[in-house]
Structure 1
Amino acid sequence: MLSQPFNPLPLDELTAVFARIKDLLLTQDKVDRALEVLVQAVGDAIPGSAGAGISLFDAHGRGSSIAATALVVEQADAAQHDLGQGPCLAAWTAGTTVLIHDAATDARWPLWSEAVASLPVRSLVSTPLAAAGGPIGTLKVYASLPAAYTSATGQLLEKFAVPAATLLAHIQGPGTPRHLSGPLKGALAGRDTTNRACGMLMERDGLTAEQAFHELLRRARTSGAPLSRVCSDLVDGRA
């Protein structure tokens, strides 16, 4: 547990943080620097955090880490991206904040929990970054101790996520690095079809949003077809 009580930053301080990021984007056009400021602010605002980061997901469900304050964040994220399962993928799929009290005992993503067992990762909060077409990625914090976070942590992270997603959605100028604009455009494209396909499976088979998405991923891997095609075939009645 944390040795000090959780004290979220007042909303006016959060506004000041994003005002600084906005200035960076407008005056320096340094996307990487803006993201560094963002995730560092998130980590500083949440006591006990070992690191913070941002992941983006494309229309095929492939994730990429575009900003992180610590190596452990990159490692824990990479395990999710490689395995196709984990709390951040779940937050992106369902469009809701995910809280882990102890990765060592949480049974929701066994492959990921096993992969990070040797890392100083016990607690996590991940919240979706939502754009017009649906979630495009996640903002997350990791802690090395169990039970480091509460629902209040998730509420604070959600406050960061709203303007963060807005900033990311508007980074589309000619100077935008390819590693950001490519995944972001891919994440925006096809989300409506994916959401509709998930909704059809949820209604027809009684699945949760996460179960429906993993079923679509399973079909894509089994058939060798892109996830976007599997979703469009289902929506169009060709599946």
Structure 2
Amino acid sequence: MSDTSLDPTEAFTQLGRIRLAETDLDGVLDRIAQLARRTLTNADEVSVTLLSGDEPRTAAFTSRLALSLDERQYQAGHGPCLDAARAGATISLPDTATESRWPEWSAQARAEGVGSSLSIGLPVQETVFGALNVHSAKPEAFDDEAIMLAEAFAGYAAVALANAHLYDTTASMAQHMQMAMQSRAVIEQAKGIVMAERRCTPDEAFAILAKVSQDSNRKLRDVAAALVERASGGQRR
């Protein structure tokens, strides 16, 4: 464990106090990994796996070793962190020297100084799953008490992560909606200009803009914005 170990109660409190308006999803993920390393029994390295559909990625890690241990599983298509994420389960590898479920990965982990490993499923969102992965240099590092603590930590982490994911998704949707509204406004302005110049209907004006967009291989919004800028006497950049 890190030299600056943290009391579990304080760690849980910090997870609950994460201000989503002051950080992003990556920031929350990194905070979870760092707190886990300082809090969990015998935790030498930690990573967080996110699984969206069939696409896994390591969203946070405390060292290159933790990252490489995950990526080898992704390449193979199976392993403790992937299985824990998919099943929402806790998977313990008490001793990488005797582990038979994932022999190749275990041998690689052992060769890099990992004696035992623990992966705990993290439900994030309906289509996104995750796992908290904890590695120790010691064999038999995670007894029942250590696993219970890790599962408790994972429960708090899952709530923080789900809230962050929802916040991030909502913010992204709001941004896209704002951009869509701005695009619609400039297109409507451009239609009005075309209608005045060509003395045509709204549908005919839109068709004219759409044809210019297609012929010039430019987005409709860009065509409309250029027309509005020209009509207002601005210089197109």
Note the C-alpha offset of 1:165.
2.1
Contact 2:121-2:132 within 8 A present in 1 as well: yes
Equivalences for 1:10-159 in 2 at 5 Å? Answer: 10=8, 12-20=9-17, 22-23=18-19, 25-26=20-21, 28-60=22-54, 62-131=55-124, 133=126, 136-159=129-152
Q: What letter corresponds to residue 54 of structure 1 in structure 2? A: V
What is the CA–CA distance in structure 1 between the aligned matches of 2:6 and 2:136, rounded to whole Å?
16
Gaps of 5+ in 1: 177-239
Note the C-alpha offset of 1:134.
7.7
- TM-score (structure 1 length as normaliser): 0.62
What is the CA–CA distance in structure 2 between the aligned matches of 1:151 and 1:175, rounded to whole Å?
41
What is the CA–CA distance in structure 1 between the aligned matches of 2:56 and 2:124, rounded to whole Å?
16
Distance change (3 Å), C-alpha of 1:8 and 1:101: farther
The CA deviation string for residues 192-238 of structure 1, in whole angstroms up to 9 with x for no partner, is xxxxxxxxxxxxxxxxxxxxxxxxxxxxxxxxxxxxxxxxxxxxxxx
Q: What letter corresponds to residue 109 of structure 2 in structure 1? A: V
Structure 2 match to 1:160: 153
Greater relative contact order (CA < 8 Å, ≥ 6 in sequence): 1
Note the C-alpha offset of 1:64.
0.6
What is the CA–CA distance in structure 2 between the aligned matches of 1:68 and 1:124, rounded to whole Å?
15
Contact 1:85-1:111 within 8 A present in 2 as well: no
Contact 2:122-2:129 within 8 A present in 1 as well: yes
Distance change (3 Å), C-alpha of 1:131 and 1:174: closer
The CA deviation string for residues 106-165 of structure 1, in whole angstroms up to 9 with x for no partner, is 001123223334212121111000145387010111011211111222211222222322
Note the C-alpha offset of 1:76.
0.7
Q: Percent identity?
A: 28
Contact 2:117-2:133 within 8 A present in 1 as well: yes
Structure 1 match to 2:231: none
Contact 1:127-1:154 within 8 A present in 2 as well: no
Specify which structure has the higher proportion of helix: 2
Secondary structure class of the residue paired with 1:116: helix
Larger Rg: 2
